[in-house]
Structure 1
Amino acid sequence: MNYQANVQETFSLIKELVSIPSPSGNTTKVINYVENFLADYGVELKRNRKGGLIATIKGTNNQEHRMVTAHVDTLGAMVKEVKSNGRLKLTMIGGFRWNAVEGEYCEIETASGKTYTGTILMHQTSVHVYKNAGDAPRNDENIEVRIDAKVTTAEEVRALGIEVGDFVSFDPRVQITDSGYIKSRHLDDKASVAMLLNLIKHIQSEMIPLPYTTHFLISNNEEIGYGGNSNITPETVEYLAVDMGALGDGQASDEYTVSICVKDSSGPYHYGLRKHLIELADKNNIEYKLDIYPFYGSDASAAIRSGHDIVHGLIGAGIESSHALERTHETSIRNTQELIYHYLLSDMVKY
């Protein structure tokens, strides 16, 4: 069936999703948003005990199932220590480098649900005071949060309700440009979530039958390694993770095509499914790149590692500067969304 992705609709949804703080471990608000979005489209919805959301569309074949995943959790931090000077020491959630968030605005959420804004800075920020401001290491010891409140002692900070273990989220700084780009933190992987949500909306609104019962898992612990490794039905044969394509030196992926991952740190993805995705892309004039990500893992590789007997694959939009100030182009979103659509309507691979 012919299908043309409405990228501006997807961009608008990405903008809403990245604006909801959701570091791994604190994703209830964004899962609620996704659940409310899908509630009007007649899909079966359930939460798993980890807090993720599973949307199921029954297919013509209910003996063989598919699972398609994207993760809504993001990088972030937690308060590691309330310092004597009224600032906060952090511990990372997810794999990034401190230089990627130095100077970023942030939000601290207390256990009671109250929020405070702040800025992530080096302790030795002022060049007028610290001779080593430029070359001091960006590490757990030197990075701190300056809270937007009149606090100069640990006691004053704790009086606000801020304590060790409180979650810290990063300002996404989302922008959509006239030249067709969307740039924001957390396109990994909220761009993929937005694509799945709009595809489910289209399939249900147009009453398009799926050949196989398909479970859409919106996982919430991918950044820490175990978001999509459970709640896989015994009938599930194919498992497709939709996550970012990582760009950089030596990589084939770009910001304009869909990336089909052939191997990451977990090893090769299923060869038959890879070839099937390529055939679908070629048949439907979808631009793609094949790529290998040496320092990468996905919900699909987590599912394989946990022992599930499945055919696994990984595709995604090409995301520039992953785990930092990310960017992609509308053509990459379009190519990715259209490949997912044609995959959902295709026959399974002969494994």
Structure 2
Amino acid sequence: MDSTLSYITDQLKTLTSIASPTGYTRAATDYLMETLRDMGFGPERSNKGNVLVELGGEGEPLVLASHVDTLGAMVRSIKDNGRLRPTTLGGHQWPTADGENCTVYTRGGKVYTGVVLNTEPSAHVADEPVKTVEKNMEILLDENVDSKDDVLELGIQTGDIIAMDPRTTVTESGYIKSRFLDDKLSASILLGLARAVATGEVTLSRKVSLLFTVYEEVGHGGAFVPADTREMISVDMGCVGDDLGCTERMVSICAKDSGGPYNYDLVTTLSNIARELELDYAIDVYPHYGSDVEATLSAGYDIRHGLIGPGVYASHNYERSHIDGVRNTYELVRAYVQR
């Protein structure tokens, strides 16, 4: 198990180092395709950009889904003073990014660094604090630019991608801190499962496919799955916060979110397995959450659906989880695909 957890954390560090805000995920899916091929599988990338790979097994087709698109921003316009006005990608919360380093990716292939700040960040200058809402945020490039023309000469234009620095770290005590644990942590867990199947450590009791989606943060990542799918589980982040039972060291099993209840029988089965294995888990209700599998249902698929994941604190912020939450989630997924 220790080698699997080490593999998962290594994959997390690699995935978070690859910028992939929604709409700019090619490099991340290139990495997934290469990694899965190296394991001996035959992944396919859809027109939309999702990566699907069949791990093997027969009967009762199950899809396990995670997403590799993240929150981020796009250049909305270039200001006369040479700063960039952003527009959000996904449910980005600007107060969490105020002061964060970032990278700008141009359509011409150039890359520039910068910092996200509000329009008056200096405590010794501002008469009153500026609200950290989108209209008051800007990107200061680490370039000698003072005008819109200066920026245009760099090759930066409207529609270019802005990615926040992830700052991924794993502490000796097992805490995992990073932006974009939602959902690159669970994507790494699924890569760990694929590796276990490839090495023969896990024998599948049914047909299992992994789906890595690229538009989850805007609501339609899981809108297309194999036609024979009978069951689908989103392996995403578990919520940690007020009025919830899950902690960063648990696996969360979601009973209901903003899209309604998850399949009752599937939630029951997953919780029974967790209890039998003496995993640290919680069944919770997420009031402000939507998952890939709900996009699948909305697209008309007749499936049983579930949602699980390691507990992640401060979602859509600089997030934190723990290696115990990863272990509990991995063991639940591994047990389920062998039942």
Give the TM-score, by structure 1 length: 0.94
In 2, Cα distance between equivalents of 1:337 and 1:323:
22
Matches within 5 A, 1:6-155: 6-61=4-59, 64-132=60-128, 134=129, 136-155=130-149
More displaced 10-residue stretch of structure 1: 11-20 or 161-170: 11-20
Aligned to 1:185: 179
Deviation at 1:205, TM superposition (A): 0.9
Q: Per-residue CA shift, 1:176-214, capped at 9, x if unaligned? A: 111111100000000001000011011111164312221
1:287 lines up with 2:280 in the alignment = yes
Aligned to 1:269: 262
Matches within 5 A, 1:146-295: 146-206=140-200, 208-230=202-224, 232-295=225-288
Deviation at 1:251, TM superposition (A): 1.4
Superposition misfits of 4+ residues, deviation over 3 angstroms: none
Contact 1:5–1:337 (CA under 8 A) maintained in structure 2: no
Equivalent pairs counted in the alignment come to 339
Contact 2:202–2:334 (CA under 8 A) maintained in structure 1: no
* C-alpha RMSD of matched pairs (Å): 1.2
CA distance 1:263–1:4, change in 2 (3 Å): farther
The one-letter code sitting in structure 2 at the alignment partner of 1:150 is N
Contact 1:60–1:209 (CA under 8 A) maintained in structure 2: no
**For 2:252, what is the secondary structure of its paired residue?**
strand
Contact 2:102–2:113 (CA under 8 A) maintained in structure 1: yes
Aligned to 1:349: none
**For 2:61, what is the secondary structure of its paired residue?**
strand
CA distance 1:5–1:297, change in 2 (3 Å): farther
In 1, Cα distance between equivalents of 2:22 and 2:51:
14
Q: Per-residue CA shift, 1:34-90, capped at 9, x if unaligned? A: 1111112222211111111001123132xx311110000000000001000000000
Matches within 5 A, 1:259-338: 259-338=252-331
- Identity, % of aligned positions: 40
In 2, Cα distance between equivalents of 1:181 and 1:320:
11
**For 2:271, what is the secondary structure of its paired residue?**
helix
Deviation at 1:16, TM superposition (A): 1.0
In 1, Cα distance between equivalents of 2:281 and 2:87:
37
In 2, Cα distance between equivalents of 1:100 and 1:140:
12
Deviation at 1:105, TM superposition (A): 0.2
In structure 1, stretches of 5+ residues that fail to align are: 347-351
**For 1:198, what is the secondary structure of its paired residue?**
helix
In 2, Cα distance between equivalents of 1:181 and 1:58:
33
Deviation at 1:233, TM superposition (A): 2.1
**For 1:141, what is the secondary structure of its paired residue?**
helix
Deviation at 1:250, TM superposition (A): 1.1
Contact 2:36–2:42 (CA under 8 A) maintained in structure 1: no
